[in-house]
A and B are shown apart, each in its own frame.
Chain A
């Protein structure tokens, strides 16, 4: 028996798809191709002269140790953001799941930060930790700790990780909470009757059952750390001090928009595109196999 819906008309399916395809082509494929094309060129800022230079932009990039360092910064940053974001959210979700009285209030409060735009989150945290007027800076100084993230690279990294994670925890929290609530009570009760304590119940029953959620969040968080944290960084450290928080996507913006080096910046975005494709393939091929649905 034929279950699929069959279109009789030849053009109707294409017509229905057309808007989506047009949007994808105009806003995704066209810019991507243009970036790829620019990455083989050397141009002045105004586009008055451009010259085909083959792979020169890429050679230049990979000879630049500061660009290579940017990979390391990005890796450290995204691992920290994803790991902290996921584990803190999981902890909060498990706690919130147990709360009996006032559960709604807790949940609502925990979800709030998600409504804050990354740039605003950056401004907020940047202000709390500002070297001269920040309230946290003041508190730290009382304990004798010198906090100055505009000069200390590690402190700057802590700040951007904190601001980026804080915002993402709410999102992760929502998914974990939904995941926890979909775990049948009977399973946990059965384990409890068998004598398993709360910790053991969590690691042998709850955590494995949450693994699809965790995997999904891992992908989303890495993508978030790669691209959406741009606003946080632009509002706080702008990649500095030195290049301590210069993640790849910020460097693309910096070189292309601020420094008007279109060729170099396009080459970087091509590299970034390749990384994202590779990461996605790897995640779905290798990590997903270990996930129980």
Chain B
């Protein structure tokens, strides 16, 4: 009955909207679900209502790896979407696919649209520009890992809830007290490699890989088995043995354990804030990631994760004009500020950040500016401006596997990280061989 009604309504809509025929359609494949998916539709509808020539059609194509695979298959079949949302670990793969993508700066230039990379937030733009500073994809949703604590659990353990641990030393002392107070799960993390390898490196100004973390060239090698890395991972393994660290999985499974109150501390994406705020029945705070005070220069700045929008090649100039118009719409300050405030993702433009600051949003919502402040804590160095590794989807998985070995106590931290480097480097060499021009 419902399906019939829907079909009838659709048929009617097609019959009575001849205007839709004249519009140029722009396909946008994305991976946003729930509240974020609604927000994506809202953005597209807003753009469609703002002008008459183009119509952006957002299509949910599954999680990040699935939508990327779908787009690759569509490209091979000769019918890719115009815009594709790709997560940060797929960046190097997209950049190397020279015939498959249309660099954003080039598209903007051809359409005669003024476009200045400087308007975009440094740590965000740096991730998606080539070595000459040209923006290759459009930043969309960017976040960075932050440190959440359950203030009620802190009080119960006799700790000062207003003082979240700043260093890993303080963290250890708090963890001991939390455990003693009967807290079943003291600490957990989302995205282990992103938080404890990639961001750990940037936060302590250590290289993740050679050649500026791969940004300067394909002939890069991983450096994540340094004494500092080994020390950090063996510390976590020790925490796991003490029952201070509970491993939850490779993605964001840990977030639910935090907002259910099971775990008292969490390191995960700043974009988890909206969800935590909605679900947590306790008082919590958002803080900078803990650091090791015996490593010189720490804390540096953290790096982003999330996704950007890539434009695929082989479309008509008219269609590219539409994409250009849409991207310009996407960068406007008002929209960016609202996106940032409602989702917990960082704003992509400097103007949106300033506008949010001026509106007093950060004072009213403590913790929402932590991600930005952490990203811009210090001017980025070669170690902390981002990373670009070929086929990092596979590379990161290798790192996760070895971390699991270390956390389970099956392997020592040193051999685990040595193996991670060895295996991940092989993936880099294969990528280099397949993508040499």
Q: How far is the CA of A45 from the CA of B100 in the complex (A)?
A: 10
A260 touches B408 (CB 8 A): no
CB of A10 closer than 8 Å to a CB of B: no
Partner of B250, one of A45, A49, A240: A240
Contact pattern, A 42-63, Cβ under 8 Å of B = 1, otherwise 0: 1111111101000000001000
7 pairs, A vs B, C-beta closer than 8 Å: A42-B433, A240-B400, A241-B401, A255-B394, A258-B65, A259-B391, A261-B391
CB of A112 closer than 8 Å to a CB of B: no
Chain B residues with Cβ under 8 A from A60's Cβ? 426, 430
Closest to B431 in A: A44
B435 touches A151 (CB 8 A): no
Q: How far is the CA of A151 from the CA of B260 in the complex (A)?
A: 21
Q: Which of B69-77, B287-295, B321-329, B356-364 contacts A (4 or more CB under 8 A)?
A: B69-77
A46 touches B72 (CB 8 A): yes
Partner of A46, one of B65, B97, B246: B97
A49 touches B435 (CB 8 A): yes
Q: How far is the CA of A255 from the CA of B430 in the complex (A)?
A: 13
A46 touches B401 (CB 8 A): no
B408 touches A153 (CB 8 A): yes
Chain A residues with Cβ under 8 A from B253's Cβ? 150
Q: How far is the CA of A73 from the CA of B262 in the complex (A)?
A: 33
Tell me whether A151 and B408 are in contact in the complex, defined as CB-CB below 8 angstroms, given that A46-B99, A258-B393, A260-B391 are known contacts. yes
B96 touches A241 (CB 8 A): no
Closest to B433 in A: A42
Q: How far is the CA of A261 from the CA of B390 in the complex (A)?
A: 11
| Chain A stretch 29-52: residues in CB contact (< 8 A) with chain B | 42-49, 51
Chain B residues with Cβ under 8 A from A263's Cβ? 434
Chain A residues with Cβ under 8 A from B401's Cβ? 240-243
- Chain B: interface secondary structure? helix
CB of B385 closer than 8 Å to a CB of A: no
Q: How far is the CA of A47 from the CA of B96 in the complex (A)?
A: 12
Output the least CB separation between A34 and chain B (Å).
Answer: 12
Contact pattern, B 400-429, Cβ under 8 Å of A = 1, otherwise 0: 111011011010000000000001001000
CB of B247 closer than 8 Å to a CB of A: yes
Interface centre among A47, A48, A240, A255 (most CB of B within 10 A): A48
Closest to B188 in A: A132
Q: Which residues of B are at the interface with A, using a C-beta cutoff of 8 A?
A: 65, 68-69, 72, 75-76, 93, 96-100, 185, 240, 246-250, 253, 256-257, 260, 262, 391, 393-394, 397, 400-402, 404-405, 407-408, 410, 423, 426, 430, 433-435
CB of A120 closer than 8 Å to a CB of B: no
Partner of B434, one of A49, A241, A255, A257: A49
Closest to B435 in A: A44
A261 touches B404 (CB 8 A): no
B69 touches A258 (CB 8 A): yes
Chain B residues with Cβ under 8 A from A260's Cβ? 68-69, 72, 93, 391, 393
Closest to A255 in B: B394
- In the complex, the number of residue pairs spanning A and B with C-beta atoms less than 8 Å apart equals 90
6 interchain residue pairs of minimum CB distance: A259-B394, A241-B404, A151-B247, A46-B100, A46-B97, A44-B434
Q: How far is the CA of A187 from the CA of B329 in the complex (A)?
A: 84
Q: How far is the CA of A125 from the CA of B401 in the complex (A)?
A: 23
CB of A207 closer than 8 Å to a CB of B: no
Taking A46-B97, A242-B404 as given, write out 18 further A-B residue pairs in contact, using a Cβ cutoff of 8 Å, ordered by the A residue number: A44-B97, A44-B434, A45-B391, A48-B97, A64-B426, A131-B248, A132-B257, A151-B240, A240-B404, A242-B402, A242-B408, A243-B401, A254-B397, A259-B397, A260-B68, A260-B69, A261-B394, A261-B430
Q: How far is the CA of A184 from the CA of B410 in the complex (A)?
A: 55
A153 touches B69 (CB 8 A): no
Output the least CB separation between B409 and chain A (Å).
Answer: 9
Partner of B247, one of A46, A148, A153, A261: A148
Partner of A148, one of B99, B246, B430: B246
CB of A66 closer than 8 Å to a CB of B: yes
Closest to A132 in B: B257
Contact pattern, A 134-173, Cβ under 8 Å of B = 1, otherwise 0: 0000000000000010111100000000000000000000
Closest to A263 in B: B434
Output the least CB separation between B397 and chain A (Å).
Answer: 8
Output the least CB separation between A156 and chain B (Å).
Answer: 10
Q: How far is the CA of A132 from the CA of B188 in the complex (A)?
A: 12
Output the least CB separation between B314 and chain A (Å).
Answer: 12
Q: How far is the CA of A258 from the CA of B246 in the complex (A)?
A: 27
Chain A residues with Cβ under 8 A from B97's Cβ? 44-46, 48
Q: How far is the CA of A263 from the CA of B98 in the complex (A)?
A: 20
Chain B residues with Cβ under 8 A from A42's Cβ? 430, 433-434
Chain A residues with Cβ under 8 A from B72's Cβ? 45-46, 260
Chain B residues with Cβ under 8 A from A51's Cβ? 434
Output the least CB separation between B425 and chain A (Å).
Answer: 13
Q: How far is the CA of A241 from the CA of B402 in the complex (A)?
A: 9
Partner of A43, one of B98, B400, B434: B434
Output the least CB separation between B277 and chain A (Å).
Answer: 20
Chain B residues with Cβ under 8 A from A66's Cβ? 423
Contact pattern, A 254-287, Cβ under 8 Å of B = 1, otherwise 0: 1101111101100000000000000000000000
Closest to B416 in A: A242
